[in-house]
Amino acid sequence: MFKINVEEFDEKLKSIINSPENHHKKSSLGINLCNETLSNIKEKVDQKDFETVSCEIDFFKNTKPLPMSYLIYFTEVHSCELRKPKTGRAYQIEFLEKEMRKINKFFYRNVDFVHYMEQGYTYLDHQFFTRNHRNNFPFTPMTDYYQYPEFSTSHDMLWAKVKAMNRFIHYIREAMQKLNAGNEMMFEEKKHKVLVWTAPKTAITELIYALYSNGSLNNGAADINTITSSFEDFFNIKLDNIYKTYSEIKGRKNSKTRFLEELMLNLQHKINKEDES
């Protein structure tokens, strides 16, 4: 009922993204495009409401998040370009690392919702994507973002931001690559001997989340997906859905960090045994 001309929207987006303009100019043009698109579909919703609840869910889950996610993305890029230090490579790298840590914290706070959406679940859609439940909004968007009470549900903005942050990660990575992050070899492929992970996948998931939570990689700037991909490559293992495995770990009745505790005990035993000999 309230559909976006996706092909036209994509063509305009590509025109902006592929233009020779700098990021600041591109983000300004992108914000204008998304605001215009959102205003048009909001006007249609104001004029004629949804015929069924399923139509309302589809709109707030699949239609509105397309321009909304790009609006958030372009707003984040615009803000980043304005705040990023103009000189001093070390200052620029430090700034980008802080931005990446913010993204990581966002995904960590919303891991359950991200898991729900990535798994394609629908059992909470009536709560998340109809306006009857918008008072349960779990997250406060920036004031720059486009939001109207009658044009928002409790989670459509959050879903759009999840999509936007996934794009924003690539923007930050590209910016860091251009700076080389203080190490010209940092992003080059490294060859290593073949190692195969033979412990359970839940064990490697514990290890990945422990390193992520501790900020042990890239000064805390490495996100879960990056760490997971690196572990998959290095240990020749496929981790199909680490978010689901992490949720299962959190749901354990007894110890939630079995593998990490086992590592600690075995290391202590080895040290004690060596000290005795």
Give the pLDDT confidence of 231-250 residue by residue, as tens digits: 887 887 888 888 889 999 99
194 located within any domain:
no
> Quick one: what percent of the chain has pLDDT higher than 90?
33
Q: Are residues 209 and 266 in the same domain?
A: yes
Report d(CA 238, CA 250) in Å as an integer.
21
Report d(CA 143, CA 151) in Å as an integer.
16
73 located within any domain:
yes
**Residue 3: predicted pLDDT:** 63
Q: Over 80: is that where the pLDDT of 90 sits? A: yes
Domain interval for residue 248: 201-276
Q: Over 70: is that where the pLDDT of 76 sits? A: yes
Q: Are residues 113 and 228 in the same domain?
A: no
* Tokens describing residue 238: 């496929």
Q: Are residues 46 and 154 in the same domain?
A: yes
Q: Are residues 16 and 63 in the same domain?
A: yes
106 located within any domain:
yes
Q: Are residues 80 and 216 in the same domain?
A: no
Q: Are residues 102 and 176 in the same domain?
A: yes
pTM of the complete model? 0.63
**Residue 4: predicted pLDDT:** 64
Report d(CA 58, CA 264) in Å as an integer.
48
193 located within any domain:
no
196 located within any domain:
no
Q: Are residues 166 and 29 in the same domain?
A: yes
Q: Are residues 49 and 107 in the same domain?
A: yes
Q: Over 90: is that where the pLDDT of 263 sits? A: yes
187 located within any domain:
no
Q: How many CA atoms within 13 Å lie on the side-chain side of 14?
A: 6
Q: What is the residue-averaged pLDDT of the chain?
A: 83
Q: How many CA atoms within 13 Å lie on the side-chain side of 31?
A: 16
Q: Are residues 156 and 214 in the same domain?
A: no
Structural domain tally of the chain?
A: 2
158 located within any domain:
yes
Q: Are residues 90 and 124 in the same domain?
A: yes
pLDDT tens, 5-56?
Answer: 667 888 888 899 888 888 889 999 999 999 999 988 888 888 888 889 999 9
Q: Are residues 171 and 206 in the same domain?
A: no
Q: Are residues 106 and 142 in the same domain?
A: yes
190 located within any domain:
no
Angle at 169 between CA 165 and CA 75, to 5 degrees: 50
Mean predicted confidence (pLDDT) in 142-163: 75
